[in-house]
A = this chain, B = another copy of it.
């Protein structure tokens, strides 16, 4: 197919979405308090159907304590292709020592040299993704033949 023949948007299956999430380590978390959304960039690790991230006590954890419904997005962009996966679900703070020790052994690094002790898991309810074949838009007002 030439680039003009490729469909501009392809819906990804949940399996395809997980493959993209598992090979990516940087995403964004959207939370909402009193119906006002906030968004945070974060490093994450996707494995076994959940998304794990680390954080320190602060605004993000406080907001999740008020409303644990979240949306999470990761994407990748090349010159002529892009993908984006969105997860909606709820968060859970890891509290059992055995869970925390298991998480300590995952390849999940914080972004910067700060101490981030708390692990939060996103438990997905829905996962959707799209693959984009980038290209110029069609003529808005095509000339008559």
Contacts and interface: CB of A to CB of B under 8 A. Distances in A.
Contact of A71 (B39, B82, B115): B39
Interface of A: 8-9, 26, 28, 30-41, 67, 69-73, 75, 77, 82, 84, 86, 88, 109-117, 132-138, 140
Residues of A contacting B: mostly: strand
A108 to B, nearest CB: 11
A82 B42 CA distance: 11
Return the 3 tightest CB-CB contacts between A and B, nearest first.
A8-B112, A30-B30, A30-B37
A134 B111 contact: yes
A39 B33 CA distance: 15
Contact of A35 (B9, B28, B34): B34
B41 A112 contact: no
Contacts of A134: 111-112
Nearest to A86: B39
A111 B11 CA distance: 15
Given A28-B39, A39-B72, A113-B136, 4 more contacts: A36-B88, A39-B71, A112-B133, A113-B137
Nearest to A67: B35
Contacts of A109: 136-137
